[in-house]
Amino acid sequence: MRFALLVVLAAVATGSVLAKLEKADETFLKKQLAVLKLTWRLSSPIEDPDQLAILQSYNPLEHLADYTNPETVKHYFEAVRDGRHQKRGEIFNLFERSHRLQMIELFETLFFIKEWVPFFKTAIAAREVSNEGQFFYAFSVALLHREEGLQLPPPYEVFPHLFTTSDVVRQAYRAKMTQTPVVIPMNFTGSIRNPEQRVSYFGEDIGMNAHHSHWHMDWPFWWNEAKYGVHKDRKGELFWYMHHQLAARFDAERLSNNLADVEALHWEKPIIEGFVPKAQYKNGYEFPSRPDNMRFQDLSFLSVNDMKQYERRIRKSIAAGFVLDSHWDKISINGTDGVDILGSIIESSQESLNPNYYGSLHNNAHIMLSRVTDPKGKFGIKYGVLEHFETATRDPAFFRLHKYMDNLVKEHKDLLPPYTRGELELPGVSVEAVKVIGKSKASTPNLLVTYFQDFYFDLSNALDSSKNVKDVDIQAKVRRLSNEPFEYVLTVNSDAEKSAVARIFLAPKYNYYGEEIPLDELRWEVIELDKFIIKLKNGQNVIRRSSDASSVTIPDRKGFKELIKEVTEAVAGNREYYVDKKVRHCGLPHGLLLPKGRPEGMKFKLMVVLTDAEQDFHTQHYIESSDNSLSYCGNLGGINPDKRPFGFPFDRQIPLGDIFRVNNIKTTEITIQNVPN
Ligand code: CUO
């Protein structure tokens, strides 16, 4: 009862959450508990007695007639049984074609099972025999696409090796062997002598890496729409936009730390910054290091020249305003959906047009960068951090790689006509004032505060277990960026009742040299903070919106052990458990909503753009929930409610800033200050 009350109070405090929370029923709770138990300590055999009993009584190969795709199921389980697929303990790499094809077999095995019971029995059978990386990825993608509201444990507690450094894992082993509970401080890689170290808190943030890995589970490049019957709306465009935003975010962090914007990769130029991940795979192999100033190398199956050719073809098509499909027919990219076509080609995904011609620029760039220190496999060095979505952003070169992709899209966007005043205006509506106010009592209007705070995560799953060595509490402690919650206060006049879409953006006011950034440059640096629908009445409206409700962020996930405890108690009837079924795993953590800013304060421009909701939004596809991260993570399995191009109205050139002087767009100067905690 006390818990229920707390939930309600929390919901009231954060605004719109209340209506979305529902009490989980017994069926839901049992499923949730089963998922958590199944994904606990994936490198060890199943321990749970109920799941062991299922494992012993159910062999998918003896039930082939029950599956809609028996061929796939048969092939998968026979290949695993006969040792033809990846073995347990090996490194699963989605970028490696054979690994991916094996994973897809397992994904399809699970995804096409309609009922929960056979789905879960099959998952148990697979979990025991499959490569654990392959299993977790396939199972997660299947679950996210079939079961609404069930939560997966945070990825940094499933495979801690991918989120922490070797010294931490070593200390964790020591703690377990000596049966001593411990909290292990985790430092970012590198040293104070490396200027890149100043922004490592961003690329190495565990929530950031969790977001990125989940984005790629929600929007897999190998997704086959026709076969799976689930449309991935504007996937190519979202691929560009989410990564574009990460690049803009990274630059804002750099500026906050007196570093110049990150430069794009170039196939002919050295990769200036090296990277030493100081991390190890669970099977003992090191993640490779890269010294400064390495040059790209030909791999045995892909040359630097191939990459240049693919880039040349893409850029030629951008300049021409059309791409060529596999029949050599021209497909225009001059419309607003051009970026979707282009994004798919660059990424490249299952939906890419003419992959033989345009190649797989982005995916192969990840591989080229990841393998640069042992391009021919001469030393048997394993995959670099760039080949796992869980680890990729740790390497500063990730942002250089994505800036390179981003510049291609910019070339395209810059060829589209700038928005006209008519396209920007919302007649009858004017934003009179915009303010941001921190939620603490002492806060000054338009001054937002960031700080670093300790965050703890559990390392149990990094370690093996045995009946004779009991679990002890072993946690990592890491400093993470966070911000004081705040509110936007918009004063809006309207000449009629109407619905509007509010889009809120932030951009640094000054560049690295201290010059004010002109609007036409600023537009490519803007960070989206929020997007939501507002209802205007005739006359003056004062709209307050909480930063917690942001459409780009999600709350930090509950810890694995905490989830298991809460759900176990709820299953036993000892507590109530509330769930928001629209919860997303994808989304930047709340703590990263704002760039760090500077200790002395850093000036930013906050831009609020209101447009007509009836014209701009498919309101029937709009899900309002503070756990939803629509702006970066799209609508999973549905239509994206926003009809405008992502990033509108900053996605196109702004040769004349006057065009933006319309009543429904308002810019306010704010300061972000990083304070000690
Ligand atoms: Cu997310 Cu390159 O696509 O890392």
Mind listing the pLDDT tens digit for each residue in 322-343? Answer: 999 999 999 999 999 999 999 9
Residue 306: predicted pLDDT: 97
Residue 522: inside a domain? no
Domain count, the chain: 2
pLDDT band at 625 (very low <50, low <70, confident <90, very high): low
* Average pLDDT score over residue span 623-635: 83
347 is catalytic: yes
Measured from the CB, is residue 99 less than 6 Å from ligand 1? no
Summarize pLDDT for 349-388 with one digit per residue, the tens: 888 999 999 999 999 999 999 999 999 999 999 999 999 9
Residue 583: predicted pLDDT: 79
- 211 and 288 housed in the same domain: yes
Of all residues in the chain, what percent carry a pLDDT higher than 90?
89
- 298 and 401 housed in the same domain: yes
Measured from the CB, is residue 362 less than 6 Å from ligand 1? yes
- 216 and 337 housed in the same domain: yes
Q: What is the CATH number of the domain that holds 387?
A: 1.10.1280.10
Q: pTM here? A: 0.95
Residue 482: inside a domain? no
Measured from the CB, is residue 243 less than 6 Å from ligand 1? yes
- 288 and 373 housed in the same domain: yes
Measured from the CB, is residue 584 less than 6 Å from ligand 1? no
Which of ligand 1's atoms lies nearest the C-alpha of 389?
4
Residue from 108, 273, 347, 487 carrying the catalytic annotation: 347
* Token pair of 420 as six digits: 């006209």
Residue 493: inside a domain? no
Measured from the CB, is residue 369 less than 6 Å from ligand 1? no
Which of ligand 1's atoms lies nearest the C-alpha of 347?
3
Ligand 1 center to residue 392 CA distance, Å? Answer: 8
Q: What is the CATH number of the domain that holds 148?
A: 1.20.1370.10
Mean pLDDT value across the chain: 94
Residue 627: predicted pLDDT: 65
- 145 and 279 housed in the same domain: no
Measured from the CB, is residue 392 less than 6 Å from ligand 1? yes
**Virtual torsion, Cα 412, 415, 419, 423, nearest 10 deg:** -70
Residue 2 has pLDDT above 60, yes or no: no
Residue 630: inside a domain? no
Which of ligand 1's atoms lies nearest the C-alpha of 242?
1
Measured from the CB, is residue 212 less than 6 Å from ligand 1? yes
| Domain end call among 414, 446, 465 | 414
Measured from the CB, is residue 235 less than 6 Å from ligand 1? no
Which of ligand 1's atoms lies nearest the C-alpha of 393?
4
Residue 626: predicted pLDDT: 62
| Domain end call among 152, 180, 207 | 152
Summarize pLDDT for 212-268 with one digit per residue, the tens: 999 999 999 999 999 999 999 999 999 999 999 999 999 999 999 999 999 999 999
Ligand 1 center to residue 81 CA distance, Å? Answer: 33
Measured from the CB, is residue 403 less than 6 Å from ligand 1? no
Higher-confidence residue of 6 and 105: namely: 105
Please choose from 94, 217, 243 the residue to mutate so as to test ligand 1's pocket, defined by most ligand atoms within 8 A of CB.
243
Ligand 1 center to residue 148 CA distance, Å? Answer: 25
* Average pLDDT score over residue span 46-70: 96
pLDDT band at 469 (very low <50, low <70, confident <90, very high): confident
Measured from the CB, is residue 323 less than 6 Å from ligand 1? no
- 146 and 205 housed in the same domain: no
C-beta of residue 344 within 8 angstroms of C-beta of residue 351: yes
What is the rounded distance in angstroms from the CA atom of residue 560 to the CA atom of residue 462? 13
CA distances in angstroms from 464 to 43, 135, 461, 474, listed in the order given: 7, 18, 7, 13
Residue 350: predicted pLDDT: 87
Residue 665: inside a domain? no
Residue 468: predicted pLDDT: 84
Residue 216 lies in domain: 196-220+231-414
Amino acid occupying residue 328 = W
Residue 488: predicted pLDDT: 98
- 255 and 128 housed in the same domain: no
What is the rounded distance in angstroms from the CA atom of residue 269 to the CA atom of residue 258? 24
Ligand 1 center to residue 4 CA distance, Å? Answer: 40
Residue partners of 514: CB distance under 8 A and separation at least 6: none
- 272 and 357 housed in the same domain: yes
Residue 165: inside a domain? no
- 143 and 256 housed in the same domain: no
Residue 3: predicted pLDDT: 35
Ligand 1 center to residue 32 CA distance, Å? Answer: 29
Residue 425: inside a domain? no
CA-nearest of 404, 400, 384, 380 to 392 is 384
Of all residues in the chain, what percent carry a pLDDT higher than 70?
97
3-class DSSP state of 486:
strand
Measured from the CB, is residue 211 less than 6 Å from ligand 1? no
Summarize pLDDT for 528-537 with one digit per residue, the tens: 999 999 999 9
**Beta strands per DSSP E along 90-239:** 182-185
Which of ligand 1's atoms lies nearest the C-alpha of 401?
2
* Average pLDDT score over residue span 581-600: 94
What is the rounded distance in angstroms from the CA atom of residue 139 to the CA atom of residue 123? 7
CA distances in angstroms from 606 to 148, 434, 630, listed in the order given: 35, 9, 20
| Domain end call among 414, 431, 461 | 414
Nearest protein CA to atom 4 of ligand 1, as residue: 389
Summarize pLDDT for 60-106 with one digit per residue, the tens: 999 999 999 999 999 999 999 999 999 999 999 999 999 999 999 99
Residue 40 has pLDDT above 70, yes or no: yes
Ligand 1 center to residue 251 CA distance, Å? Answer: 17
- 212 and 319 housed in the same domain: yes
Lowest-confidence pick of 279-293, 307-321, 505-519, 579-593:
579-593
The string over 103-133, giving b where at least 16 C-beta atoms fall within 10 Å of a residue's C-beta and e elsewhere, is bbbbbbbbbbbeeeebbbbbbbbbbbbbbbb
- 319 and 259 housed in the same domain: yes
Residue 18 has pLDDT above 70, yes or no: no
Residue 204: inside a domain? yes
Ligand 1 center to residue 166 CA distance, Å? Answer: 24
Which of ligand 1's atoms lies nearest the C-alpha of 386?
4
Summarize pLDDT for 420-467 with one digit per residue, the tens: 999 999 999 999 999 999 998 889 999 999 999 999 999 999 998 888
- 275 and 140 housed in the same domain: no
* Average pLDDT score over residue span 499-525: 97
Helix then strand then coil, in percent of the chain rounded to 5, is: 40, 20, 40
